[in-house]
A and B are shown apart, each in its own frame.
Chain A
Amino acid sequence: MYGALWRILPGPIWVRIVILLVLLAAVLFALVEWVFPWVDQFVAPRDVTVTK
């Protein structure tokens, strides 16, 4: 999977590394901005109140 990704990327090694870093940053941003807050509503430690 990741091996295929590496082969698909064009250019010399350092270009591939730069592209990968940019991709990684984009993925992390998407996770923090959208994915994690969405997942959070299902798994968070939520209850801090006393209720019946």
Chain B
Amino acid sequence: MGVLGELLITAGVLVLLFLGWQLWLNDIIQGNIQTQDAETLTQEWAAAGPTTSPTTAPTTVPSATPSNGPAGQTTKPVVGVAPGNATKFAVLMVPRWGPHWQRTIAEGIGVTDVLNKIGLGHYPGTQMPGEVGNFAIASHRLAYGAGFKNLHKLEVGDHIYVETQDGWYDYIYRSTEYVLPTGIGVIDPVPQLPNVSPKDRIITLTTCNPFYSTDERLIAYGVYNTWYPRAGGPPAAIAAAVAARNN
């Protein structure tokens, strides 16, 4: 076997090693880092309490109707202000993806600074958690911690919790849509209805589809249910996960 043959075999092994690293090893490493990230951030919030100068009711959409939460729900959710690019400001918790599943959301959808490192990114210009309109976020389906690996496993009625320093915003998964990468209508204030004034609070999660491909985008929508101010403690469904962080 000549030197050329050995070089070719070496190259083949290197490619396989790279794929193993990218799709498996690095995915696990990044996933652990991002989960740890979320725990650290939420512990800081728990120690600091709610923001001292909360911005009040939704302001960007004046035509908004008051809270469309469940009956008896009267308080409007506090709406924060979008921070600077790549700044972490929220944590996503989805019990369907595991009782302790939690990942950090940062502002922006930059590939190298947000999606590959922090995990979940908030589309700039879309609304904030609890705001009337559309809180749109993106994450990888595969590798880099694969925040939305199980986006297709959501079932109608599943809760999607967004935690900020102010408290927990409770969204309920409604439906899924498949679009082309150019389908920016999904992040409109009213998804797929441009120039329509929003009345509901929507969350939109986008990732790539199918697995191992970026040909399409998988979109999951949730509708706002209610919110839990930090002072009142977390919703019961995730109380155990929240308590477990402090250990």
The residue in chain A whose Cβ has the minimal distance to the Cβ of B187 is A50
Chain B residue numbers with a CB within 8 Å of A1 are 3, 6-7
Chain B residues closer than 8 Å to A51, beta-carbon distance: 181-182, 184
B140's partner among A2, A40, A48, A52 (CB-CB below 8 A) is: A48
- Which residues does chain B contribute within 8 Å of A41, judged by CB atoms? 112
Tell me how many residues of A have a C-beta within 8 Å of chain B.
18
- Chain B residues lying within 8 Å of A52, measured Cβ to Cβ, are 182, 184
Closest to B179 in A: A50
Provide the main secondary structure of the chain A interface: loop
Q: Count contacts between A and B, CB distance < 8 Å.
A: 72
Interface residues of A in 3-41 (CB under 8 A from B): 28, 31-32, 36, 39-41
B158 to chain A, nearest CB (A): 20
User: Would B22 and A44 count as touching, CB distance under 8 A?
Assistant: yes
Q: Which residue, of A2, A32, A41, A44, has the highest number of chain B Cβ atoms within 10 A? A: A44
Whether A50 contacts B143 by the Cβ 8 Å rule is no
Which residues of B (106-146) have their CB < 8 Å from a CB of A?
A: 109, 111-112, 115-116, 121, 123, 138-144
Interface residues of B (CB under 8 A from A): 3, 6-7, 14, 17-18, 21-22, 25-26, 109, 111-112, 115-116, 121, 123, 138-144, 148, 179, 181-184, 186-187, 206-208, 212-214, 217, 219
